[in-house]
Amino acid sequence: MKSFDSYRKWKYTKFLSNKNYSFNRNYILNIISSKIITDAFNSISKWKNYKKTPLLKLEKLNKNLKLNNIFYKDESKRFHLKSFKALGGAYAVEKISKKKKNIIISSATAGNHGRSVAWGAQRLGLQCKIFVSQYVSKERVKEIEKFGADVIRVKGNYENSLNECKKLSKKNNWNIVQDVSTKNYSYVPLLTMAGYSIMIKEISKQTTHYITHIFLQAGVGGMAAGVVAGVAKYFKRIPKIIIVEPDGADCVLQSIKSKSLKKIKIKKESIMGGMSCNEMSLIPWHVLKKASDCCVTVNDSKVPKTVAMLKDKKLSKRSIIGGECATPGIISLISLCNNPKTKKLINLNEKSNVLVIGCEGNADVKLYKQLLSKGRK
Ligand SMILES: Cc1ncc(COP(=O)(O)O)c(C=O)c1O
């Protein structure tokens, strides 16, 4: 691998400051309530094998970018599911099943959400049907099947798989556990977001530093909104919230830019599969339209290198297993620091304590190996 200083040339694709920014704890906790957040922590923290995921430091990257700290929340260690999604779908299954044993759970997924739902159903001895599009890899399907779910492949994209899931669930009286909220479907997605807020509860006990910036990856925005709700509840000081998306799937950036929910057309699916979404979920929209300080997009080209740098201890003293969706926070942080104008604009300096979320480990083992070997070249 070439000298890792080569990342000092990395660039983001788009940057947008949110003109409507106004972080208001009460506004956010009116949407994702303090009670639902507390309930999620009280339930999940009692699960067998629950433990906080590590809050690591990217010391070497920090030395190079000259910030105060760069924290990395390592969700590759989240139960044995290797992603933060374990906190969402599985928790929603537990809540909606209300200890009943004769119900069937269903869901549509790009991968990790379905795994969480399938695991949640298996934990409770429930049957489970998971719908996936043609783009979901065989590896990810196998991982879902390991938890005893029937996987149904649907031609077309995520939206097609969701429509098929809705159709068959209605016909067969299955209970849908979806992480995307719409006008008439909000309770279950709220539960998943409450589950994600646990990451912030843990971080509030893992460091005494005040976090100044959080880089939040977004697909439909559920993780970002859950984390923001956690910040509103648990953090004493409010950090800058920076939303990160693949440049071909920037539905959050486009919605914030036009001040209304925007559906975009994805021309080419990003390698960051979990984030390749064309429309925001409704509740996250209401949260993020105000709480996001700015949005940034990155392309796929630096993903393999970042996977390799994490693994090969180029960014930290310890080796870290970070999958494709764990990388864009780091890529955008580096790219924003490389541009003196944006660096200054968002106050990234020697006093900054930055948090990036390492959302997933090698959840797709085959893809991870490919990215690692490409990134090492
Ligand atoms: C594996 C994975 N899936 C999906 C997402 C996107 O989450 P959401 O659709 O809730 O924004 C992320 C993170 O952004 C992720 O790491």
Taking only the tens place, the pLDDT of each residue in 143-162 is 999 999 999 999 998 889 99
Alpha-carbon span 56 to 74, nearest angstrom: 7
Alpha-carbon span 6 to 4, nearest angstrom: 5
Output the six-digit token pair for 8: 């000092």
State the pLDDT at residue 269: 87
Distance 102 CA to ligand 1 centre (A): 30
- Contact predicate 230/200, CB 8 Å: yes
Pick from 84, 143, 223, 282 the residue to mutate for probing ligand 1's pocket: most ligand atoms within 8 Å of its CB: 223
Pick from 217, 281, 306, 362 the residue to mutate for probing ligand 1's pocket: most ligand atoms within 8 Å of its CB: 217
Taking only the tens place, the pLDDT of each residue in 22-45 is 999 999 999 999 999 999 999 999
State the pLDDT at residue 1: 45
Alpha-carbon span 250 to 177, nearest angstrom: 25
Taking only the tens place, the pLDDT of each residue in 268-306 is 989 998 898 899 999 999 999 999 999 999 999 999 999
Q: Which of 363, 369, 366 is nearest to 76 (CA)?
A: 363
State the pLDDT at residue 135: 85
| pLDDT for residue 4 is more than 70 | no
| pLDDT for residue 11 is more than 60 | yes
State the pLDDT at residue 5: 63
Q: Which amino acid is at 104?
A: I
Taking only the tens place, the pLDDT of each residue in 203-219 is 999 999 999 999 999 99
Output the six-digit token pair for 206: 């893992």
C-alpha triplet 358, 332, 134: angle, nearest 5° = 65
Taking only the tens place, the pLDDT of each residue in 333-344 is 999 999 999 999
Output the six-digit token pair for 19: 């003109």
Taking only the tens place, the pLDDT of each residue in 298-331 is 999 999 999 999 999 999 999 999 999 999 999 9
Largest Cα span, the chain:
59
| pLDDT for residue 111 is more than 80 | no
